[in-house]
Amino acid sequence: MRFKFALVNEVRAEAQPGLRGTCAFCHSEMIAKCGPVRIRHWAHKSNASCDHWWENETEWHRIWKNRFPVEWQEIIHKDTAGERHIADIKTDKEFVIEFQHSAIKSSEVQSREAFYKNMAWIVNGARLKSGYPHFCKGVNSLRNLNNTGFFLSTSPEACFPAGWLTSSVPVYFDFQADSKRADLWCLFPGRVEGYTIIACVSHKQFIELSSTTPHLLRAQEYLSQITQCIRQERTTVASKTAIPGPYMQHTRLSRRRRRL
């Protein structure tokens, strides 16, 4: 298992040549790995039993972690029953962000969400070559909510991997491979009046919100407003007494599409 931090003289430290440390989670001995190919990291000296949820750190993980304060990275989280796991990011407002690069079983997704509760995922959507092309094929079916950055979908599987469709927390997909893919695309949990809600958020906005008002990343207030808009539109159409409002006009992604 590869980590960014280990305890050296009881102080968290990054890997440096020749250092030896201790795992903050399982207290096993760790060795600094500083070769020329992989990013510098800590590894257990033996095959110690550590956090089975932990995913070996990749360069993608490291880039994302470094966007947050050091004191928020690789933090041990414990629930009321005493169960412990290492969160990739845990903010000073108790908000957890998990970065997922490799494939993951649905059962583990559910376990992590139940354990952390107040959390969001960031998934490497560019891990597979088919990830971004698949998203692009489905994105034209999204219904734009008046260029607010929110979209409606009746078939989210056309854009995102099926394994994430049942998540109970927001899942932010990172398709970044160049500057044209600089946005995160969020799949919100559940359905709102039969629609799945999807949002486009910049990296900068995500980081700012996670630091200041992480509850907005869950978008409960916005989802409530969207629900009201959909219900109002349906009432208007049913009564035939008014024209549907601009929030519900069916448009293409216009400027957003050109940015993809």
What are the tens digits of pLDDT across the range 144-196? Answer: 887 678 999 999 999 999 999 999 999 999 998 655 567 999 999 999 889 99
Number of domains within the chain = 1
Tokens of 209: 């919100």
Please check whether residue 104 lies inside any domain of the structure. Answer: yes
Measure the CA–CA gap between 132 and 134, rounded to whole angstroms.
Answer: 5
Residues 6 or more apart whose CB falls under 8 angstroms from that of 182 comprise 176, 202, 203, 259
Tokens of 176: 């970044």
Q: What is the DSSP string of the chain?
A: -EESEEEETTEEEE--TT-EEE-TTT--EEEEE--SSSPPEEEESS-----TT-----HHHHHHHTTS-GGGEEEEEE-TT--EEEEEEE-TTS-EEEEE-S---HHHHHHHHHHH-SEEEEEETTSSTTHHHHHHHHHTT-EE-TTSSEEEES-GGGTS-GGGTT-SS-EEEE--SSGGG-EEEEE-SS-BTTBEEEEEEEHHHHHHHHHH-THHHHTHHHHHHHHHHHHHHHHHHHHTSSPPPGGG-----HHHHHH-
Q: Residue 232 — pLDDT band, cuts 50, 70, 90? A: confident
pLDDT at position 245 over 60: no
Please check whether residue 124 lies inside any domain of the structure. Answer: yes
**Partners of residue 29 on adjacent β-strands:** 22
What are the tens digits of pLDDT across the range 45-100? Answer: 887 668 989 888 899 999 999 999 999 999 999 998 999 999 999 999 999 999 99
- Average pLDDT (115-139) is 94
Measure the CA–CA gap between 199 and 172, rounded to whole angstroms.
Answer: 9
Tokens of 163: 């394994």
Measure the CA–CA gap between 260 and 249, rounded to whole angstroms.
Answer: 22
Please check whether residue 55 lies inside any domain of the structure. Answer: no
What are the tens digits of pLDDT across the range 189-205? Answer: 999 889 999 999 999 99
> Tell me, what amino acid is at 193?
E
Lowest-pLDDT range of 66-70, 115-119, 239-243: 239-243
Please check whether residue 29 lies inside any domain of the structure. Answer: no
- Average pLDDT (9-32) is 93
Quote the pTM value. 0.84
- Average pLDDT (123-142) is 92
Please check whether residue 20 lies inside any domain of the structure. Answer: no
CA nearest neighbour of 57 among 133, 109, 1:
1
Please check whether residue 86 lies inside any domain of the structure. Answer: no
> Which residues form the domain of 131?
91-243+254-259
Predicted pLDDT of residue 48: 67
Tokens of 62: 């490291």
Please check whether residue 28 lies inside any domain of the structure. Answer: no
Please check whether residue 98 lies inside any domain of the structure. Answer: yes
